[in-house]
Structure 1
């Protein structure tokens, strides 16, 4: 299915111009790569966000620049540090006949043994970078954590041979780990640093003669 995003060329300008465009609901972006010189453009922020949310960031988008369509993937986004909204996007034009490098999300399947025993599953690396034909980009890479006990980890080296794509991550990248449960010592509840109850006593005043 073609995912078409409408874009308009924009003239490079000062930061104030970009701020004004964002207030108008536009997303400043640039398209570069295969058969394309760097082209500054603007897209509709809501429509772009809706398409990315529905189809995934690793999808191939057809960017329609005033009638000319370019196949592209999202290469980089810049976000507002306070609001988390996207301030700028880089789209990489691609050759549909050649392999590309693309980051796809990791999808955890199964329930780890260690989690059933009270451990906590964490995912230090949530994306893997693979080399693949544009038409064969998967929605996600499934990683089975069923056999992980408390204290166990699953690295790229452990799953590389089971993934049917060329994975570019380092072997030591950790995809999942099960940490021990946090133990709260109830005996120290309500006590000060020295182990005594944290109660402030007030001495009764001496009686006046």
Structure 2
């Protein structure tokens, strides 16, 4: 079931009106979709942040636009003020609940890798996975148990449990987690430096002579 979010229409697009919207605690936004006319709206900043925090980045939102019918949307993009750390703009995309779409879903590694306990280093090359699914079937996150991973072991896309309601878009051999041996490169370089002959001051290469 989609979470509800109220919105008002924006008729005045001037800078002063946009500034006033932000000062009132709302976020100037746009809602659009395939074969849909774009609409300028405003949503409450706190309500939007709470919705995304509680429901996830890919949540289906029932956007209740004042004086218009509700639309099933997803938060497509947003802009932040880097200085004030505040939302300053948001884009909502109208979704067709019957059609599949491509989205990025957070990847969460669970457990402590066995190899990490032996001194190895657990690495996570990807923090999000691309999946294709109908809007209502998009998972909130993909969880992977890494507790059995030993040093040198790897988990790839092909190793993940198959899901009937969505599919992964990355190559099957794409690594999502691995445990690598402790880095011994620095020790090797130190030994090489100790065994190297001292360089002669003022010496030149043969080509320079």
**Shared fold (TM-score greater than 0.5)?**
yes
Determine the structure 1 residue equivalent to 2:57.
Answer: 57
Unaligned runs of 5+ in 2: 187-209
DSSP 3-state at the match of 2:77: strand
Determine the structure 1 residue equivalent to 2:109.
Answer: 108
DSSP 3-state at the match of 1:68: coil
Determine the structure 2 residue equivalent to 1:43.
Answer: 43
Let me know the Cα RMSD of the aligned residues. 2.9
Misfit runs of 4+, over 6 Å: none
Q: CA deviation at 1:139?
A: 1.7
Determine the structure 1 residue equivalent to 2:191.
Answer: none
DSSP 3-state at the match of 1:146: coil
Tell me whether 52-61 or 161-170 shows the greater mean CA deviation.
161-170
Unaligned runs of 5+ in 1: 186-209
State the alpha-carbon separation in 1 of the partners of residues 107 and 19 from structure 2.
34
DSSP 3-state at the match of 1:54: helix
Question: For this pair of structures, how many residues does the alignment match?
Answer: 184
Determine the structure 1 residue equivalent to 2:202.
Answer: none
Q: CA deviation at 1:132?
A: 0.8
Determine the structure 2 residue equivalent to 1:88.
Answer: 89
Determine the structure 1 residue equivalent to 2:127.
Answer: 126
Within a 5 Å distance, the mapping from 1:46-195 to structure 2 comes to 46-66=46-66, 67-150=68-151, 152-159=153-160, 162-164=162-164, 165-170=166-171, 174-179=175-180
DSSP 3-state at the match of 1:88: strand
Change (3 A) 1:84 1:143: farther
State the alpha-carbon separation in 2 of the partners of residues 146 and 123 from structure 1.
14
Q: Is the 8 A contact 1:111 1:145 kept in 2?
A: yes
State the alpha-carbon separation in 2 of the partners of residues 153 and 83 from structure 1.
41
TM-score, normalized by length of structure 2?
0.73
Q: CA deviation at 1:2?
A: 3.0
